[in-house]
Amino acid sequence: MSDDMLRAPAEVKYAEELDWLESIDDGPKPFSWRLSPRMIRLFILGSERSDGLEREIAQKWFGDRSFVERSIVTLASDRGLLLIGDPGTGKSWLAELLSAAICRNSTLVVQGTAGTTEDHIKYSWNVSMVIAKGQSRDSMIPSPIMTAMEGGVIGRFEELTRSTSDVQDALISILSEKYVSIPELDDDNIVFAQPGFSIIATANSRDRGVNDLSSALKRRFNFVRIPVVTNKKSEAEIVRFRTEELLRRHRIELDLPPTLLDILLQSFADLRSAASSATSDDEKLESALSTAEQIGVLEDAILHSHFFGDRTLRAQTLAGSLVGSLARRSPEDLAILNKYWHGVVEPRSKKDGGQWPEFLEGGREAIATLS
């Protein structure tokens, strides 16, 4: 079934694995959860030899075990979960995995934007049915959050701080009262949340000041802050994991040379270090330099090599993809990258050799083309 989708949700992608975990799970389960908290943690973080399982469960989210455990415990209570952190730290992916493991449905999602309205988290009306038959439960269109309430499952709210204060205020009543009133109806005019309902919200820490959360809404969430991955080994595992998924999805047979992955990781580490020591925004790349953006750079390079190259990933192609992906402002970003290429990449290529000289040349060509 997942082959028929461009991007299958986690509960479809890992359906066989979830079925197996459910069949061996004898642990206590809160509400109507499909898996126990221990099995949910195992599904997300992968199995270890000490677990004594008949099969290996691959790790799907790379981060501190305590973040996952605190998230699961929060959802087992009556509080909402807010995952907050910089862009590209895996907040949405963790929310999807949690939803898939708990209720086998991660698709009840509201995307927070400036245009998100109260209707998007409560309900709206099918206008043609209202005209023909009047307002009733049949002519009502429940939001993903209301659907989650009725089913006693997890609803997700992406980019919470992007939505306006009116929308956030409507969410307060849902989190505190656990029901939604429908004043347009005389009968059957309250939707009560069933046991197991909760909300996982995400927010980017860089959006602070866009639409700050009120104190009342903050009190109804448990905060789990997801830090930027700084451990080189962990970051390499994330990039490799996502890249292997990409190759399988596109049915591409292409080796990822470890030396090129090292070059990519080192380049991002250098650029992050330069950004942290910058004295103004003009001296920083507009890019967040997140792990997700590293994956994007590598994906671009792999696809370019597959379709327009000799199906071998080369340092020159990787350099061109890095420059093309990170140079979003002209001339500011190009000047920063040019300074990095001359001040860091050039000396390193002379000192370390290997594939750094080819990486140096590819970056120079890309910068010259975009300048």
pLDDT tens-digit profile of 228-264? 777 778 888 888 888 888 888 778 877 778 899 999 9
How many Cα atoms occupy the beta-carbon half-sphere of 142 within 13 Å?
A: 20
In angstroms, rounded to a whole number, what is the distance separating the alpha carbons of residues 46 and 241? Answer: 13
Whether the per-residue pLDDT at 3 is higher than 90: the answer is no
Amino acid type, 89: T
pLDDT tens-digit profile of 332-348? 899 999 999 999 999 99
pLDDT tens-digit profile of 172-226? 989 999 999 999 998 889 999 999 999 999 998 766 655 678 888 889 999 999 9
In angstroms, rounded to a whole number, what is the distance separating the alpha carbons of residues 132 and 135? Answer: 9
Residues whose CB falls within 8 Å of the CB of residue 335, separated by 6 or more in sequence, listed in order: none
Contact of 175 with 56, CB cutoff 8 Å: no
Here the tokens at position 225 are 């802050």
Q: What is the DSSP letter of 193?
A: P
Phi-psi region of 134 (alpha: psi -120 to 50; beta: other; left: phi over 0): left
Quote the percentage of the chain above a pLDDT of 90: 58
Whether the per-residue pLDDT at 280 is higher than 90: the answer is no
In angstroms, rounded to a whole number, what is the distance separating the alpha carbons of residues 350 and 354? Answer: 9
Give the other-Cβ count within 10 Å of 212's Cβ.
13
Quote the percentage of the chain above a pLDDT of 70: 98
pLDDT tens-digit profile of 137-178? 999 999 999 999 999 999 999 999 888 888 888 899 899 999
With CA atoms as reference, report the closest residue to 99 among 33, 189, 28, 29. 33
- Bridge partners of 199, per DSSP, are 155
pTM above 0.75, yes or no: yes
| Helix (H) or strand (E) segment spanning residue 219 | helix 215-219
pLDDT at 208: 60
Contact of 345 with 305, CB cutoff 8 Å: no
pLDDT at 86: 83
Here the tokens at position 252 are 């591409």
In angstroms, rounded to a whole number, what is the distance separating the alpha carbons of residues 118 and 115? Answer: 10
In angstroms, rounded to a whole number, what is the distance separating the alpha carbons of residues 195 and 152? Answer: 5
